[in-house]
Every structure is written in C-alpha cells, then in structure tokens.
C-alpha cells in the first residue's frame, strides 16, 4: 500500500517532466568510442554544432546542446518551432540520451510578436485538443458555457485539430531525435 501511495504522489511529476530519454547498452564500446560517435552526430545534425553546443566534455563523457526543429502543420506549412536541449552521456558499454526543456515558438503573422510556450502547456491539454477537434463535442461542451453556432464550432474544431496534430508531430520529432542518435551510435566504422 505504501508503494502505491508513493507512486501516486510521484506520477504527476513524471508526466510534467516532459522529457524523452533512453539508456542504451553498447557492449564492447568504450566511453571514448561512444563520445566520438555522438560528437559526429552533433556535427552532422546541427547547422553549426559549435554554436549549438553548451557543453562538450570528453573527460566527463557528456555533450549538451540546444536545438530547434520546425514542425509543419497538415498543409505542410510551418506550425511552430520545437526548441529543446539534448544531452548525451557516456560510460563504457552504454550511453544515456535525453531530450528536455522543450518549448514551442509560434511565429507571429499579421505584425504580432513571436510567442514561446513550454511544450508541457500543450501536453497538459492534449486530451482536450483531441476531443475539441470534433465540432459536435464542442457543441456539447462549449468554451466558457457560451452557445456556439455550428459554423463557429466547426472553425474552433479545425483550429483545435491543428494544435492536436502539432502536439503529436512534436512528440514524434523528439522521439526521432533519440532514434537518430541511436542509429549513429550503432554504425560501424567503414573500412576504406
């Protein structure tokens, strides 16, 4: 029972941590070999790896960088930029890869200003955006108890669907980062 109570108290913090991570076993690889592979990935993946790197410490076995990925909407146009911190740590035989501090930058149109929002704010409302993508659901659950006309509900549902799709795509992009690092780490050196 005590374990259950403990788990119930930490679960909300886990969901708010908003990070994607993995520990990958690499038998037979030294921390130095893993560092070299990861450094190569950073150099190939970032336009300017030197500018993106916040920490590059071969001795402690850690590379930390900041990055940004454009996330496109369903029409193939820019929805927002997903900004993140990526950290790769190494030990002999394994490495840890983390993507954290995720925020989204929405680029203003019509002379407004750009807005940066923690991605967790969207994740917290993910289920709402999914439900509110259906205009019938909006008609039954109007915002602020205001009765909406069908056309207004359809327009609101369309906007909510767009946000929901961007949330899903952002989650996939963060998971793809982990996968891309893992692919690079597993590459073998070509003999030439």
Looking at the domain 18-186, which fold is it? Alpha-D-Glucose-1,6-Bisphosphate; Chain A, domain 4 (3.30.530)
pLDDT at 82 over 80: yes
> Is residue 185 within 8 Å of residue 34, measured between CB atoms?
yes
- Which pLDDT does position 192 carry in this prediction? 47
pLDDT average, residue stretch 128-148: 85
Query: What is the C-alpha to C-alpha distance for residues 114 and 121, in angstroms, rounded to an integer?
Result: 17
- Which pLDDT does position 16 carry in this prediction? 39
- In this prediction, residue 11 has a pLDDT band, given cuts at 50, 70 and 90, of very low
Look at 161 and 1; give whichever has higher pLDDT: 161
């Amino acid at each position: 029972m005590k374990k259950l109570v403990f788990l119930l108290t930490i679960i909300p913090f886990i969901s708010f941590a908003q990070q994607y991570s993995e520990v990958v076993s690499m038998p037979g690889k030294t921390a130095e070999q893993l560092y070299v592979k990861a450094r190569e990935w950073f150099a190939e993946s970032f336009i300017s790896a030197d500018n993106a790197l916040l920490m590059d410490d071969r001795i402690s076995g850690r590379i930390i960088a900041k990055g940004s990925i454009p996330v496109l909407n369903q029409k193939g146009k820019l929805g927002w930029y997903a900004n993140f911190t990526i950290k790769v740590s190494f030990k002999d035989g394994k490495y840890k890869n983390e993507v954290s501090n995720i925020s989204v930058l929405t680029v203003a149109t019509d002379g407004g200003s750009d807005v940066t929002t923690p991605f967790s704010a969207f994740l917290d409302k993910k289920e709402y955006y999914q439900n509110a993508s259906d205009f019938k659901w909006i008609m039954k659950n109007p915002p602020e108890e205001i009765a909406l006309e069908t056309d207004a509900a359809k327009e609101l549902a369309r906007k909510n669907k767009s946000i929901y799709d961007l949330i899903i795509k952002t989650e996939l992009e963060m998971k793809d980062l982990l996968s891309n690092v893992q692919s690079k780490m597993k590459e073998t050196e070509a003999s030439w």
